[in-house]
Amino acid sequence: MAELPRREDELAAVFGPHLNRMEGLRLDTGVTPDRIVDTHCCFCGQQCGIRLKVKDNTVVGFEPRYDFPFNRGMLCPKGVKRYLQGAHPDRLVRAQVRDPSANGGFRSVPYDEAIRRTASEIQRIQSTYGADAMGVLSGASLTTEKTYLMGKFARVCLKTRYIDYNGRLCMVSAGAANKKAFGIDRAANPWEDILGAEVIVIAGSNTAECSPITTSYVWQARENGGKLIVVDPRITPIARTADVFLPVRPGRDVILFNGLLNLMIENDWLDHDFIENHTVGFDAVAEHVKQWTPARTAEATGIAEKSIRRAAELWGTAKTSFLMHARGIEHHTHGVENCLSTINVVLASGRIGRPNCGYGTVVGQGNGQGGREHGQKAEQLPGWRDIGNPEHREYIAGVWGVRPEEIPQAGVDCYEMFRKIDAGEIRGLLAICFNPKVSLPDNAFVTRALEKLEFFVAIDFFLSETAQHADVVLPGSLHEEDEGTVTQVEGRVIKINKAVDPPGEARQDWRIIGDLASALGRPHGMIYESPRQIFEELRVASRGGVADYSGITYERIEAENGVFWPCPSEDHPGTPRLFESGSYNPVARGNGPYYFPDGKARFVVAAYRPPAEDVDAEYPVILTTGRVVSQFLSGTQTRRIGPLVDQYPEPRVEMHPRLAAKHGISDGGWAKVESRRGSMTLRAEVVTTIRPDTVFVPYHWAGRDSVNQLTIAAQDPVSKIPEYKVCAVRVSPAAAPAGRSGLPIALPVHGSAGSEAFLVRTGSPKERFPDPPQRG
Amino acid sequence: MVSSPDLEFFIDPNRCIGCQSCVAACSECDTHRGLSMIHLEYVRRPISVQTIPVICMHCDSPTCAEVCPADAIKRTGDGVVQTARKPRCIACNNCVLACPFGVPKMQAEFSLMMKCDMCYDRSSVGLKPMCASVCPSGALYYGTSEEIERLRPRSRPIHAFRFGDQVITTRVHMMVPRKSSSSQLDVTAAWSDEAVNPTDMLENLYEEAAG
């Protein structure tokens, strides 16, 4: 049974989230660190370099890592306060088993006992229902070594086809589109190429909040004369000063980019030589986009036609450019088409594979890139190999020391796994680095599925909302308690270094997997001495694949500040910029720079389909979701860090004054947001920086504060990404939830003076400042 | 040791993204660990996401020190205005009220005025202040005049501020558009209704979008 053992508030009283703040050693300026460890931030895909100060096996602070070239000391507030996740009162330092009679619903048990019990339950489930009755959920915040290991563990040790990961909510639309168009799934350029771009297009990326360091590249490009075009339903901080802002109606991105391509064709803003020599499929796409005339595009996207024309001219006539996109265009039931439509305008311009000419998705998770390459995806084997391809299976079987037929075939995406749990096909689950109860859409369904599991084991460092449903929780490791590699936004493989030892009986995740394999009596290929040993095996496993890491070593990463894959041999310099002529390409083998046998990139027709749930009379408002700068993903870590919670303590619903006035909702007052799946009550933030037909709620919170109670579980048919960015809701004014103040409040808007914030938001300038003195 | 005279502080609010990295990092500085001295304000959130980071401008002739009845506020030889001297500060709030930039903070817990000291523990040994180290937008920048000249061709630094009839010059620079002719920022003019309450520029943007 995987129902919650106690009420949510009773669980929270023991396991948090509680807030960790600077105190003790962390506040003492007299402390001399025992050592300072060069590593990277544990949060987003920017993977900023950071130096952690360690005293008495505790990370007590940080120093900027000025010498790491990507961020040169810069950090966002999450990076600054990341160290407060360690030495945390909520930290799981012993194994826990479900016990409704225990305070908090869990009882500590010796680690070995928890491992034995887990192994025996897995054996029982698999002997009763078959190997595929066990599922594995993994995550893209793990090091690449661990992601490789999880894929191998599922296929070789558990022998189940059912493994998938939380990158399914993140990277997969871009990945699928990149594979279709380029044959390779990686940002095509190092971020340096942004600096020299004449035109930068940012589509569906709240860059300033979700990938803050990228801001510095964009601003520097503008100092150099670059123009900025931003596509977003909200005026985010990166959009505020854009040269052209395109406030797209959520769900219509593909129309916009098809409309832009149509204008490029009409005005002959095309690179004919490039299209002729390096691509196939242009004519079909050109024919398809004819229907998206400027007027029709404007009407469908809700963007002024003159803005569309201005954007097309800027893009069409530029000599250099960089186009980047993120979840804003990817989280759709046509997320793959959205991405393909942006790639089409890039290919038509011919501006790729050269200095200052770039394209890429801005990865979200810490190892969003490396975590999607080496086999924890349902359909994938290491090196971006295809689990359905007999040659690929044979190669990996050789590396793993198994027969090819022993490797299971493709499983299903993580949401489909929950449907299989609901249907009784999957009876047992092992989860690591994934909090689906908060992060998956329509999470009431996810909760019901979790409750149906016969056995659920979670490996976690805090008791996440999902782990609260577990029968056994194995205490895993924090980022700073292990070493390994990750691959950041540019495709640069970098090294995470260990700063402290795991506390108590907590241990590194790869050791836990090894212990479990031993207890199962299936230790073959599962026992490692170190992450380095896993990495050495991964190098071999990736050799000859598209994501080839075989030339990368820990030593090279340290010496070169990271190595860009593909890197097929130790004397190969790595590949910072893809698609340059003559660059390494194991697929085209000299026929051209793109990863297809003919070496040519693909134009792919990107047809518009409406969102799965469009607005109607009953639910007339579009709900779109996203992030805030001070929180990360499902908040398991960041909702436990005091200063980050202070900065943005709870979700608010952003809406335009016109929409608010229509419903009598006031700034700072309570509003109810309802969809066909659920409702939530939260404070409104009434601002003109959002489309009047759209409301926005960030998704980092759990329980009644989780916007994923409302979102829809519709998925892209190819990538299986959920449609987080569009569903239909209605809004109304609401009474305060029980225990909350009913008065409108000044929402906290900054980290310093609270009363001033109130005045800035609500008082007139005359009240705030006296009349200026008269000048004579 | 004093901070290098070649290294200057530059603020460009136009770049600010409101992320509060500076606020977070400020409390990591060893001269006031655990407390943040930066103010980061939305100008007017209902109509814009524009934010402005406010650090101490380190006035050449600091009003805070001039109005201090206890002579507790000192300016170092290299132009950095320090937190009040603990033995002298009488927590009277004169400085808090008088500072034209609203920088000093009264820490009631310690009966002490504390303020941004440009991370003197860092800047005095040639390190960048915390806020300017981490700022991901370059809104806060610490470097040489030559660097800023080279890196920011669209803007230029000024360090004079007009308040009514009074002009204050500061050690910290504010970036203004390079093409602007003004040599000083008229702060009181920026308090006018038109400056603080521009007409809703976004109204037209959404006119067609609302359909």
Chain B residue numbers with beta carbons less than 8 Å from the beta carbon of A751 are: 20, 23-24, 36, 38, 40
Percent of chain B's residues with pLDDT above 70: 89
Q: Please, are residues A483 and A146 in contact by the beta-carbon 8 Å criterion?
A: no
Nearest to A303 among B15, B38, B209 (CB): B209
Q: Provide DSSP, B144-207.
A: -HHHHHHH-TTEEEEEEEEETTEEEEEEEEEEEETT---SSEETTGGGSHHHHS---TTHHHHH
Chain B residue numbers with beta carbons less than 8 Å from the beta carbon of A25 are: none
Give the pTM: 0.95
Q: Please, are residues A625 and A690 in contact by the beta-carbon 8 Å criterion?
A: no
pLDDT, tens digit, 9 for 90 and up, residues A642-677: 999 999 999 999 999 999 999 999 999 999 999 999
Identify the burial level of A772 via C-beta atoms within 10 angstroms of its C-beta, where 0-12 means exposed, 13-18 middle and 19 or more buried: middle
Contact yes or no for B39 and A750 at CB 8 A: yes
Given a cut of 70, whether residue B195 has pLDDT beyond it is: no
Residue in A closest to B121 by C-alpha: A29
Contact yes or no for B43 and A629 at CB 8 A: no
Instruction: Based on DSSP, count helices (H) and strands (E) in chain B, helices before strands.
Output: 8, 9
Q: With bands split at pLDDT 50, 70 and 90, how would you rate the model's confidence at B202?
A: low
Q: Please, are residues A546 and A383 in contact by the beta-carbon 8 Å criterion?
A: yes
Residue in B closest to A641 by C-alpha: B24
Model pLDDT, residue A485? 98
Q: Please, are residues A478 and A85 in contact by the beta-carbon 8 Å criterion?
A: yes
Chain B residue numbers with beta carbons less than 8 Å from the beta carbon of A657 are: 46
Q: Is A358 helix (H, G, I), strand (E, B) or coil?
A: strand
Chain B residue numbers with beta carbons less than 8 Å from the beta carbon of A49 are: none
**Distant-in-sequence contacts of A378-382, Cβ < 8 A, 24+ apart:** A378/A161, A378/A162, A378/A163, A378/A164, A378/A410, A378/A411, A378/A412, A378/A413, A378/A414, A379/A410, A379/A411, A380/A151, A381/A151, A381/A407, A382/A148, A382/A151, A382/A538, A382/A541, A382/A542, A382/A545
Contact yes or no for A692 and B206 at CB 8 A: yes
The answer to whether A609 faces chain B, any CB pair under 8 Å, is no
List, in order, residues 6 or more apart from A34 with CB less than 8 Å away: A54, A55, A56
Provide the chain A residues 733-752 that lie in CB contact (below 8 A) with chain B.
749-752
Nearest Cα of chain B lies from the Cα of A245 at a distance, in angstroms, of 9
| Selected residue of B10, B12, B15 to mutate for chain A interface (largest A Cβ count, 10 A) | B15
Chain B residue numbers with beta carbons less than 8 Å from the beta carbon of A661 are: none
DSSP B80: P
Nearest Cα of chain B lies from the Cα of A295 at a distance, in angstroms, of 11
Q: For the sheet containing B166-177, what is the strand order?
A: B140-143, B8-11, B166-177, B155-163, B185-186
Model pLDDT, residue B182? 86
For residues A141 and A484, give the distance between their C-alpha atoms in angstroms, rounded to a whole number: 12
If we measure between CA atoms, which residue out of A479, A499, A480, A481 comes closest to residue A35?
A: A499
Model pLDDT, residue A3? 85
Region at A580 (left for phi over 0; alpha for psi -120 to 50; beta for the rest): beta
Q: What is the mean pLDDT of chain B?
A: 90
Chain B residue numbers with beta carbons less than 8 Å from the beta carbon of A22 are: 27, 33-34
For residues A78 and A648, give the distance between their C-alpha atoms in angstroms, rounded to a whole number: 12
Report the amino acid identity of residue B81. Answer: V
Provide the chain A residues 633-662 that lie in CB contact (below 8 A) with chain B.
643, 647, 656-658
DSSP A31: P
List, in order, residues 6 or more apart from A213 with CB less than 8 Å away: A46, A48, A70, A71, A74, A75, A76, B136
Provide the chain B residues 129-158 that lie in CB contact (below 8 A) with chain A.
130, 133-138, 151-155
For chain B, how big is the Rg over CA atoms in Å?
A: 18
| Selected residue of A299, A666, A750, A760 to mutate for chain B interface (largest B Cβ count, 10 A) | A750
CA A604 centroid distance within chain: 25
Q: Please, are residues A337 and A457 in contact by the beta-carbon 8 Å criterion?
A: no
pLDDT, tens digit, 9 for 90 and up, residues A392-409: 999 999 999 999 999 999
Model pLDDT, residue B192? 75
| Selected residue of B7, B11, B16, B19 to mutate for chain A interface (largest A Cβ count, 10 A) | B19
- pLDDT mean over B82-109: 95
Cis before A566 (ω within 30): yes
Nearest Cα of chain A lies from the Cα of B2 at a distance, in angstroms, of 20
Number of C-alpha atoms within 13 angstroms, CB side, residue A152? 31
Chain A residue numbers with beta carbons less than 8 Å from the beta carbon of B210 are: 302, 658, 691-693
For residues A45 and A707, give the distance between their C-alpha atoms in angstroms, rounded to a whole number: 23
List, in order, residues 6 or more apart from A752 with CB less than 8 Å away: B23, B36, B38, B39, B40, B105
Model pLDDT, residue B189? 83
Q: Is A473 helix (H, G, I), strand (E, B) or coil?
A: strand
The answer to whether B96 faces chain A, any CB pair under 8 Å, is no
Contact yes or no for A689 and B154 at CB 8 A: no
Q: Please, are residues A509 and A477 in contact by the beta-carbon 8 Å criterion?
A: yes
Q: Please, are residues A744 and B31 in contact by the beta-carbon 8 Å criterion?
A: no
Nearest Cα of chain A lies from the Cα of B21 at a distance, in angstroms, of 4
For residues A728 and A624, give the distance between their C-alpha atoms in angstroms, rounded to a whole number: 9
For residues B129 and B119, give the distance between their C-alpha atoms in angstroms, rounded to a whole number: 5
Nearest to A80 among B25, B49, B207 (CB): B25
Chain A residue numbers with beta carbons less than 8 Å from the beta carbon of B38 are: 751-752
Measured CA distances, A191 to A275, A357, B105, B192 (Å): 25, 10, 40, 41
Given a cut of 70, whether residue B3 has pLDDT beyond it is: no
Contact yes or no for A81 and B193 at CB 8 A: no
Nearest to B46 among A62, A81, A686 (CB): A686
Q: For the sheet containing A58-64, what is the strand order?
A: A35-40, A49-55, A58-64
Model pLDDT, residue A765? 29
Provide the chain A residues 249-278 that lie in CB contact (below 8 A) with chain B.
249
Higher pLDDT, residue B124 or A638: A638
The answer to whether B43 faces chain A, any CB pair under 8 Å, is yes
Contact yes or no for A775 and B165 at CB 8 A: yes
For residues A26 and B204, give the distance between their C-alpha atoms in angstroms, rounded to a whole number: 51
Model pLDDT, residue A186? 96
Chain B residue numbers with beta carbons less than 8 Å from the beta carbon of A256 are: none
Nearest to A249 among B155, B203, B209 (CB): B209
Q: Please, are residues A314 and A244 in contact by the beta-carbon 8 Å criterion?
A: yes
CA A277 centroid distance within chain: 35
Identify the burial level of A640 via C-beta atoms within 10 angstroms of its C-beta, where 0-12 means exposed, 13-18 middle and 19 or more buried: buried
The answer to whether A4 faces chain B, any CB pair under 8 Å, is no
Contact yes or no for A667 and B46 at CB 8 A: yes
Q: Is A246 helix (H, G, I), strand (E, B) or coil?
A: strand
Nearest Cα of chain B lies from the Cα of A750 at a distance, in angstroms, of 6
If we measure between CA atoms, which residue out of B204, B161, B188, B192 comes closest to residue B60?
A: B161
Measured CA distances, A339 to A234, A283, A393 (Å): 19, 19, 29
**How long a stretch of residues is chain A?**
776
Contact yes or no for A302 and B211 at CB 8 A: yes
The answer to whether B18 faces chain A, any CB pair under 8 Å, is yes
For residues A494 and A487, give the distance between their C-alpha atoms in angstroms, rounded to a whole number: 6
For residues A524 and A503, give the distance between their C-alpha atoms in angstroms, rounded to a whole number: 28
DSSP A33: P
Chain A residue numbers with beta carbons less than 8 Å from the beta carbon of B27 are: 22, 643
Q: For the sheet containing A163-165, what is the strand order?
A: A106-109, A95-98, A472-475, A455-460, A428-432, A134-138, A163-165
State the CB neighbour count (10 A cutoff) for residue A28: 14
pLDDT, tens digit, 9 for 90 and up, residues B25-51: 999 999 899 999 999 999 889 999 999
Nearest to B134 among A64, A240, A647 (CB): A64
Q: With bands split at pLDDT 50, 70 and 90, how would you rate the model's confidence at B200?
A: low
Instruction: Based on DSSP, count helices (H) and strands (E) in chain A, helices before strands.
Output: 26, 28
Number of C-alpha atoms within 13 angstroms, CB side, residue A64? 29
Q: Please, are residues B169 and B60 in contact by the beta-carbon 8 Å criterion?
A: yes
User: Which residue's structure tokens are 């987003």?
Assistant: A44
Contact yes or no for B51 and A77 at CB 8 A: no
Measured CA distances, A318 to A307, A311, A341, B56 (Å): 17, 11, 19, 42
The answer to whether B126 faces chain A, any CB pair under 8 Å, is no
Chain B residue numbers with beta carbons less than 8 Å from the beta carbon of A62 are: 28
From the first residue on, what is the mean pLDDT of each consecutive set of 10 residues in chain A (776 residues)? Answer: 87 96 91 96 98 97 97 98 97 98 97 98 98 98 98 98 97 97 97 98 98 98 97 97 97 98 98 98 98 98 96 98 98 98 98 98 96 97 97 98 98 98 98 98 97 98 98 98 98 98 98 98 98 98 97 98 98 97 92 97 98 98 98 98 96 97 96 98 96 97 97 98 98 93 64 33 30 35
pLDDT, tens digit, 9 for 90 and up, residues B52-67: 999 999 999 999 999 9
